[in-house]
Amino acid sequence: MENRPGFESITGVEGVFSQQFSQWMFYFLVFSILIFIGISIAYLVYSRKSLKKGEVVLFAWIALGVIGAVVFGALQMLHGYLF
């Protein structure tokens, strides 16, 4: 089983390093998204003028996109690697 091509890249030192790198990339993704969402929420709450309907819809779609990005990244991490 160990003689299969590509098997060493999964089970060797390089595979472990790649998995750790993927985990740190996922943590960075989540941290960046939290900062982005914090800025967005602060803009929504502390805006001096009332927001138009289009702006509210825009922020709703941005929030859905962010949730989708986190779910997509988490599913990739469950598979093994973050691409």
E strands along 24-77, which residues? none
Residue 77: name the closest of 11, 34, 28, 8 by CA: 28
- The answer to the question of residue 58 being in a domain is yes
- The answer to the question of residue 17 being in a domain is no
Amino acid letter, residue 10: I
The whole model's pTM is what?
0.59
Q: Which domain holds residue 35?
A: 22-79
- The answer to the question of residue 10 being in a domain is no
Count of domains forming the chain: 1
- The answer to the question of residue 69 being in a domain is yes
- The answer to the question of residue 13 being in a domain is no
- The answer to the question of residue 4 being in a domain is no
- The answer to the question of residue 2 being in a domain is no
- The answer to the question of residue 29 being in a domain is yes
pLDDT in tens, 22-74: 778 778 888 988 898 898 888 888 887 888 899 889 988 988 998 898 888 78
